[in-house]
Amino acid sequence: MKPHAAPPGMHATEFVIFVAAVMAVNALGVDLMLPALADIGRDLAIDQANHRQWVVTAYVLGFGVGQLLYGPLADRYGRKPVLIATLIGFVGASVFAAASVTFTALLGARVLQGLMSASTRVIAVAVVRDNASGRAMARTMSVAQMIFFLVPILAPTIGQGLLVIGPWRFVFYALGGFAGLVLVWTLTRLPETLPVERRTAISLANLSSSYRLTLTNRYSLGYALAASLTFGGIIAFVSSAQQVFVDEFGAGDRFTVLFAICAGAMGVASFMNSRLVERLGTRLISQTAVLALIVLSVLHLSVVWMGWETLVSYMVFQSLSMTCIGLCGSNFGAMAMEPVGRIAGTASSVQGFITSVGAVLVGSAIGQSYAGTTLPLTLGYLAIGVAAFVIVYVVEEGQLFRARLA
């Protein structure tokens, strides 16, 4: 198996783990406080249970908007300075969140956290793209995501442990602490991956040209839209997970374990993808996964409509659906970046904005429809699968289910 590309001064293994750690700042920002949502709701007098979901979606909204800023900055000043500045900002936003005394203040802190953590997605993709492309990039991202997916598996358990020793505010202090560790790693080990000669000045003309290239290339735009749909499925699951497991199935004592199983399915998918992508290609794997998601959703919908839904059936279908989504994520991202590698920072920003904001819209629409059953989530996954398949069909001009160069 080919080694992963890495910047000078970093071993390939360290580089993959570092990329995963950078991405984990964002993942912890979403998942670490899930066990604390009920406590936050009680402490801050949130009267409607579905409104607790905004603690998650406000963060992702800030994350999406912030990505528009960091691509141009990373293409102009380099990857490392931007990452350092925003990690410092994330630590400050975490302290602000921990000190919040109203729900409005907490949501503001969450948006600020998302704005700061947006750089982690942009920089992670950009530094990998600076050193690899195509299937090699997809493989590196898959392995990084495989490690990264350990975070949502462990995060709720860690969050639950923090609640044992202190109030929900400890969760946000822990977020700041982890970001601080990544900051130290960045300062001491990450070399700059963007040479001076490849940097582009920030100007209206350059931004317009980069945005136009990113938004008019059908692969770049199409696969970013497809990624926004599948990411929306993740947001819908994460934001409503506590309500589904605790309120509907009465499995509050097993919440962290059950959530970890579903999240772990995505880690397994990334591991599978890292082993298969160079042989089968990003297109064949992702297109097959989208079709499988549609079939699974139809079967799950039948079970729900027949009144046969149980915790076991939900776990089986949700885990399999997460596997399909996991097989789509890194591949859609790699294919979206492939034609815009020379403007990787700005392109990653624009695609990240589309993916994240689209995911908030999709995930919120599904999550806020929760009314005590898994029907909205099941219908939402079916709609996501069908819409993603249509987008891929249009992008590939009807030429599906075949291995290609990327």
Query: Tens of pLDDT along 103-125?
Result: 999 999 999 999 999 999 888 87
Among left, alpha and beta (phi > 0; psi -120 to 50; other), residue 143 is alpha
Q: Which of 119, 103, 139 is nearest to 6 (CA)?
A: 139
Residues 64 and 359 sit within 8 Å (Cβ to Cβ): yes
The whole-number pLDDT of residue 405 equals: 42
| pLDDT at residue 406 greater than cutoff 60 | no
Name every residue whose Cβ is closer than 8 Å to that of residue 41 and which is 6 or more positions away in sequence: 49, 51, 52
Residues 123 and 31 sit within 8 Å (Cβ to Cβ): no
The whole-number pLDDT of residue 183 equals: 97
The whole-number pLDDT of residue 148 equals: 63
In this structure, which amino acid lies at residue 360? Answer: V
DSSP class of residue 406?
-
Distance between alpha carbon 263 and the CA centroid of its chain, in Å? Answer: 12
Tell me the C-alpha distance between 353 and 73, whole Å: 15
Using only the alpha carbons of the chain, give its radius of gyration.
20
Query: Tens of pLDDT along 366-381?
Result: 998 988 899 999 999 9
Average pLDDT over residues 318-341: 88
Query: Tens of pLDDT along 43-78?
Result: 999 988 889 999 999 999 999 888 888 888 888 899
Average pLDDT over residues 149-165: 85
* Angle between helix 150-165 and 134-148 (nearest 10): 20
Query: Tens of pLDDT along 350-403?
Result: 888 899 889 989 999 999 898 889 999 999 999 999 999 999 999 998 877 654
Average pLDDT over residues 226-235: 93
The whole-number pLDDT of residue 5 equals: 63
What confidence category does residue 39 fall into, taking pLDDT thresholds of 50, 70 and 90?
Answer: very high
Query: Tens of pLDDT along 291-301?
Result: 999 999 999 99
Residues 335 and 328 sit within 8 Å (Cβ to Cβ): no
In the three-class reduction of DSSP (H, G, I as helix; E, B as strand; rest coil), residue 404 is classed as coil
In the three-class reduction of DSSP (H, G, I as helix; E, B as strand; rest coil), residue 169 is classed as helix
Q: What percent of the chain has pLDDT over 70?
A: 93
- Mean pLDDT, the chain, as a whole number? 88
| pLDDT at residue 133 greater than cutoff 80 | no
Domains of the chain: 12-395 (1.20.1250.20)
Tell me the C-alpha distance between 64 and 341, whole Å: 20
The whole-number pLDDT of residue 3 equals: 47
The whole-number pLDDT of residue 187 equals: 95
The whole-number pLDDT of residue 403 equals: 47
Tell me the C-alpha distance between 175 and 87, whole Å: 11
The whole-number pLDDT of residue 348 equals: 77
What confidence category does residue 9 fall into, taking pLDDT thresholds of 50, 70 and 90?
Answer: confident
Whole-structure pTM value: 0.79
**CA angle in degrees (0–180, nearest 5) for 179-121-60:** 85
What confidence category does residue 79 fall into, taking pLDDT thresholds of 50, 70 and 90?
Answer: very high
396, two tokens = 């590939």
Average pLDDT over residues 308-325: 95
DSSP class of residue 194?
S
Residues 54 and 240 sit within 8 Å (Cβ to Cβ): no
The whole-number pLDDT of residue 51 equals: 92
The whole-number pLDDT of residue 168 equals: 96
The whole-number pLDDT of residue 2 equals: 44
The whole-number pLDDT of residue 401 equals: 65
The whole-number pLDDT of residue 356 equals: 87
Task: State the maximum Cα–Cα separation within the chain, in Å, rounded to a whole number.
Answer: 63
Judge residue 248's burial from the number of C-beta atoms within 10 Å of its C-beta, 0-12 exposed, 13-18 middle, 19 or more buried: middle
